[in-house]
């Protein structure tokens, strides 16, 4: 192998490493730089054409290329303004808006360069054929695509997170007394509280209006960006203190409460009954409901053993209500004859595509139990879309996936 080829491979490797470093550590600068270069390219092209005394071509390039480039920069500025305004409007409280901003700008950049390239190619081909080509349709398509993206962002960041939906359902069971009054259980999942917002206030009003007998919480109470934040924990305690259920509020650990110590710190000073691989029977006006709480580790064998431990001593003829963070114990719950299984974790996908549904659920079952009511043998499982957002660098957004309160009326059959 020649020395020149070795040097060439070394140079390529160096460039590759530099590019990966920039993409990983400075993505915002890369996207903004590409956007500015897009505008500069249009201006430079017009300038070169003008110097070459091709005034008509310079005027055409300026008139057709500069407005989309300027519009692109304005859309980018609007994206930043929307993300900046979210905490000031008490909608969400991300400490870093760079990842969602970069993702949005990248999409806009693809649209910009794609349509600009298509317009230039159409003009070049038209010139070769001697036929005039108008690129105004490309500019209109560019404008429509970017306005559509902006509308989706407003819906996902502002509108849908506030549109809390209450889903009411009834479950009749032979393990409940048909002569006793029904029991109303309200299920809340994936609160992911950052700071108290309009959404939490709306949830408290809606839950208390349902007049639940029992409230159950199935994990993930703080946002990933605020797991050790005392203010977020205090706002969670304020939230649960406002909930009204005469027969108690019960909770289990989820993904973001990894240790018993973290959960004990979170519920300290509240009336929340924390279930840790244990069961408690509640008598609601003569209707006996056994709540079974299992902590979620996302380790299947361990959590299956925890379920066995929690069910130890629970009578088979009674009504059992399993609280577990994710849908991943469905097979085990059905095998042990659990009557009702309440969980969350999937967020319903949080961002869903029309006619397709959720892209990601973080469940071992994939999209099979994304959200909704499911039946396996004698076990009914209800997976909630949850209330909050994942956190970290992920967008605080919901699209075609509104926050959800689940209310279930249990009656004897």
**What does the block give as tokens for 243?**
């909930």
Cβ atoms < 10 Å from Cβ of 55: 11
pTM reported for the whole predicted model: 0.83
**What gap in Å lies between CA 64 and CA 66, rounded to an integer?**
6
Cβ-proximal residues to 303 (8 Å cutoff; 6+ apart), any chain: 294, 295, 296, 297, 324, 328, 329
- DSSP designation for 256: T
Q: Taking a C-beta distance cutoff of 8 angstroms, is the pair 330, 372 a contact? A: no
Nearest to 220 by CA among 104, 50, 344, 402: 344
Q: Which fold has domain 165-412?
A: Purple Acid Phosphatase; chain A, domain 2 (3.60.21)
Q: How far is CA 103 from CA 87, 110, 209, in A?
A: 19, 11, 40
Nearest to 217 by CA among 194, 190, 198: 190
**What does the block give as tokens for 394?**
């992920």
- DSSP designation for 135: -
Per-residue pLDDT tens digits of the chain, which is 413 residues long:
555 554 555 555 665 565 555 555 555 555 556 556 555 555 544 444 444 445 555 455 555 556 777 788 888 889 999 999 999 988 999 988 888 888 888 888 888 777 777 766 776 676 677 776 666 677 778 888 889 999 999 999 999 999 999 999 999 999 999 999 999 999 999 999 999 999 999 999 999 999 999 999 999 999 999 999 999 999 999 999 999 999 999 999 999 998 999 999 999 999 999 999 999 999 999 999 999 999 999 999 999 999 999 999 898 889 999 999 999 999 999 999 999 999 999 999 999 999 999 989 999 999 999 999 999 999 999 999 999 998 888 889 999 999 999 999 999 98
* Domain span(s) for CATH 3.60.21.10 in the chain: 165-412
**What gap in Å lies between CA 200 and CA 202, rounded to an integer?**
5
């Amino acid at each position: 192998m020649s020395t020149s080829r070795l040097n060439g491979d070394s140079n390529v490797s160096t460039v590759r490493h530099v590019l990966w470093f920039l993409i990983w550590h400075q993505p915002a600068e890369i996207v903004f730089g590409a956007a500015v270069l897009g505008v500069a390219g249009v201006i430079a092209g017009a300038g070169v054409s003008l110097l070459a005394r091709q005034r008509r071509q310079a005027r055409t390039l300026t008139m057709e290329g500069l407005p989309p480039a300027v519009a692109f920069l304005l859309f980018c500025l609007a994206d930043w303004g929307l993300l900046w305004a979210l905490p000031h409007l008490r909608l969400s409280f991300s400490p870093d808006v760079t990842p969602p901003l970069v993702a949005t700008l990248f999409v806009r950049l693809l649209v910009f360069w794609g349509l600009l390239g298509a317009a230039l190619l159409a003009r070049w081909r038209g010139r070769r054929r001697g036929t005039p080509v108008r690129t105004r349709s490309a500019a209109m398509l560019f404008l429509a695509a970017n306005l559509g993206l902006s509308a989706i962002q407003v819906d996902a960041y502002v509108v849908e997170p506030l549109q809390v939906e209450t889903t009411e359902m009834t479950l009749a069971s032979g393990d409940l007394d048909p002569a006793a009054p029904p029991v109303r259980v309200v299920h809340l999942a994936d609160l992911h509280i950052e700071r108290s917002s309009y959404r939490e206030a709306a949830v408290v009003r809606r839950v208390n209006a349902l007049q639940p007998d029992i409230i159950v919480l199935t994990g993930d109470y703080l946002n990933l960006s605020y797991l050790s934040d005392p203010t977020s924990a205090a706002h969670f305690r304020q939230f649960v203190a406002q909930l009204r259920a005469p027969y108690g509020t019960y909770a289990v650990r989820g993904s973001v409460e990894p240790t018993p110590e973290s959960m004990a710190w979170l519920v300290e000073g509240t009336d929340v009954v924390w279930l840790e691989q244990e069961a408690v029977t509640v008598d609601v006006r003569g209707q006996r409901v056994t709540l079974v709480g299992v902590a979620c580790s996302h380790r299947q064998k361990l959590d299956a053993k925890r379920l066995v431990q929690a069910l130890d001593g629970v009578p088979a003829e009674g009504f059992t209500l399993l609280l577990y963070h994710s849908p991943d114990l469905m097979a085990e719950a059905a095998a042990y004859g659990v009557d009702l299984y309440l969980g969350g974790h999937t967020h319903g996908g949080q961002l869903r595509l029309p006619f397709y549904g959720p892209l990601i659920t973080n469940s071992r079952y994939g999209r099979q139990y994304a959200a909704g009511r499911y039946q396996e043998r004698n076990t009914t499982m209800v997976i909630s879309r949850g209330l909050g957002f994942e956190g970290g660098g992920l967008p605080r957004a919901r699209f075609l996936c509104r926050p959800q309160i689940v209310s279930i009326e249990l009656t004897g059959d």
